[in-house]
Chains A and B, each alone.
Chain A
């Protein structure tokens, strides 16, 4: 290792040798870096998982454009509605080939042993097949049978094993909103931060479950466009058909990104994650600084000697950065391993979609190196105390 680093650096790897010479200090530093990494990974994991769970319901649909209400909120599951009239207005546009309303409502499912889950209902016209994920098109048709539903096998807090065999010929009965329903199929969506599971029903069943809702006021409107049409251009042209601020028109991707941004920057949870990341970074910088500056202080006479020998400032900067990068590059791995463990436990316990992504691992690795280097830069101020004239 020494020989390899010596060749890499073009000098003896003094920083490496210094760190190895004090194993206790090295271990403390690595534990600190790993701990900071875990803090950051956990926060980023939760934030990523929130983004992921925001995205999941959007992936059920594949319209070209989405018309949503102009209400403040940016969330798909928000309670705001808009007049179905907006859909008919859009159909006038020559490039709009079809439209379908979707109705959304939330309900609590009390299952046997006083466990309860918050269920997000999507009510869709049974012939809305072209607007939904291919895998849903066929089951959707079966929903035209009144009081049937597709239930979420990943629903949190409920034992869904009994629903695995649900089929249109063999509906599995359950009760919700005081109504007897039959599960005729399943989806695998799972809980996010806003709910514990997602159930799909026909629009007619939806109105039975939520009698206060009317077919005239859907939650959103999905539009299909002529394959050759540019969604961006059509969106702009559609906007001109409506009174100002009557609707917002987005592609699914735009709407999804908008909601992620909204959840991250305007909702308390998102801000807590950001705050957590900052805390993690500060903890890492402080711990690495403590170790690096203690190391400089311990070697002040040696550094003064090197100064007397004619080594320039850059040499000392190099040693400290070498130490910083070694701490970052080694401490990162136990941090990554622990975080992976944490993700898996959390995913297992809560069903939220939390997992390591290569992008995140690389970003945190680079961030760790930068943070440790910053600690090194702070620790360098201590170098000024190395005064070669005092050595004699």
Chain B
């Protein structure tokens, strides 16, 4: 496997048809190194989420190329995109936990996407991860009985559970207080180091910028700045 996890070349994206057709991305080029933490920044409406969903196989790539883990996504079919997504982890702005499942069960879903497995082992893995995120006392709580920050941490645990190659996160720390927000991002970093997990995150949180290997800024659908982050360990930063 190459050291580049994501390679975006001449990517364009349009929404709508005819009169309403609107271009959201213009000639985006970006290479993300394996194991790195890349932060996407930019004003609202600049195309951050669109870029994230294209790289995350949640949208079809119509123009240009996205190579994800050495697979081309341009003109890929729905089934291969679904299979690809099993190697990814998503953390959404809203936690999107299942309200009928406990914290543990929500995290277990991240493991069960890979098919039949030993439920006991799944539960143990989920417990371990939730414990790491400071939710060891809330394993059997339904989301309705958790605070916003706790729910978001469960969602983070769910994304991390299946040991994804890449994590895509859109403002994941918005609902978290300072301490747990930073703790969560540190966890991403540590995982990145230990497992070679790549993280692409949309955030405005300045404290997180300090942890980033790389900061990419979008404006009106174009990359206007692409610089190395201020993280001390920048060994894995890919060449711009």
Interface residues of B in 59-86 (CB under 8 A from A): 59, 79, 82-86
**How long is the Cα–Cα vector from A363 to B173 in the complex, in angstroms?**
55
Nearest-neighbor residue (CB-CB) of A388 within chain B = B58
B100 touches A310 (CB 8 A): no
* A-contact 0/1 string along B82-125, CB 8 Å cutoff: 11111110101110111111000100111011011001000000
Q: Which residues of A contact B79 (CB under 8 A)?
A: 312
Most chain A C-beta atoms within 10 Å of own C-beta, residue among B59, B82, B88, B142 = B82
Task: Tally the A-B contacts, defined by beta carbons under 8 Å.
Answer: 80
Chain B: minimal CB distance from A103 (Å):
71
9 closest A-B pairs by beta carbon, nearest first, are: A310-B86, A21-B100, A10-B116, A310-B85, A305-B96, A389-B58, A17-B100, A302-B98, A392-B170
Whether B53 is near chain A, meaning CB under 8 Å from some CB there, is yes
B113 touches A20 (CB 8 A): no
Q: Which residues of A contact B99 (CB under 8 A)?
A: 21, 302
Q: Which residues of A contact B170 (CB under 8 A)?
A: 392
Once A389-B59, A392-B170 are accepted as A-B contacts, the answer to whether A308 and B100 lie under 8 Å apart by CB is no
Whether B236 is near chain A, meaning CB under 8 Å from some CB there, is no
9 new A-B contacts, CB < 8 A, other than A305-B92, A310-B86, A392-B170, are: A6-B119, A7-B119, A299-B98, A302-B98, A308-B85, A309-B90, A309-B110, A311-B113, A392-B93
**How long is the Cα–Cα vector from A307 to B56 in the complex, in angstroms?**
12
B86 touches A391 (CB 8 A): no
Whether A14 is near chain B, meaning CB under 8 Å from some CB there, is yes
Interface of A is mostly: helix
Interface residues of A in 2-23 (CB under 8 A from B): 3, 6-7, 10-12, 14, 17-18, 20-22
A301 touches B96 (CB 8 A): yes
Whether B49 is near chain A, meaning CB under 8 Å from some CB there, is yes
Once A12-B112, A391-B96, A392-B53 are accepted as A-B contacts, the answer to whether A308 and B101 lie under 8 Å apart by CB is no
Q: Which residues of B contact A308 (CB under 8 A)?
A: 56, 58, 85, 90
**How long is the Cα–Cα vector from A175 to B88 in the complex, in angstroms?**
91
Whether A306 is near chain B, meaning CB under 8 Å from some CB there, is yes
Number of interface residues of A (CB under 8 A): 28
**How long is the Cα–Cα vector from A302 to B99 in the complex, in angstroms?**
8
**How long is the Cα–Cα vector from A10 to B90 in the complex, in angstroms?**
24
Once A309-B109, A310-B83 are accepted as A-B contacts, the answer to whether A11 and B96 lie under 8 Å apart by CB is no
* B-contact 0/1 string along A296-327, CB 8 Å cutoff: 00010110111111111000000000000000
Q: Which residues of A contact B115 (CB under 8 A)?
A: 10
Chain B: minimal CB distance from A272 (Å):
43
Interfacial residues, chain B to chain A (CB-CB below 8 A): 49, 52-53, 56, 58-59, 79, 82-88, 90, 92-94, 96-101, 105, 108-110, 112-113, 115-116, 119, 142, 158, 162, 170
Subset of 19 A-B contacts with CB under 8 Å? A3-B119, A7-B119, A10-B115, A11-B112, A12-B101, A12-B105, A12-B108, A12-B112, A12-B119, A14-B98, A302-B99, A304-B96, A305-B90, A307-B82, A309-B90, A309-B110, A310-B84, A311-B82, A391-B96
Which of B49, B110, B113, B142 contacts A392 (CB under 8 A)? B49
Chain A: minimal CB distance from B202 (Å):
8
Which of A7, A10, A14, A311 contacts B101 (CB under 8 A)? A14
Q: Which residues of A contact B108 (CB under 8 A)?
A: 12
Nearest-neighbor residue (CB-CB) of B170 within chain A = A392
Q: Which residues of B contact A12 (CB under 8 A)?
A: 101, 105, 108-109, 112, 119
Q: Which residues of A contact B92 (CB under 8 A)?
A: 305, 391-392
Which of B52, B98, B100, B119 contacts A20 (CB under 8 A)? B100
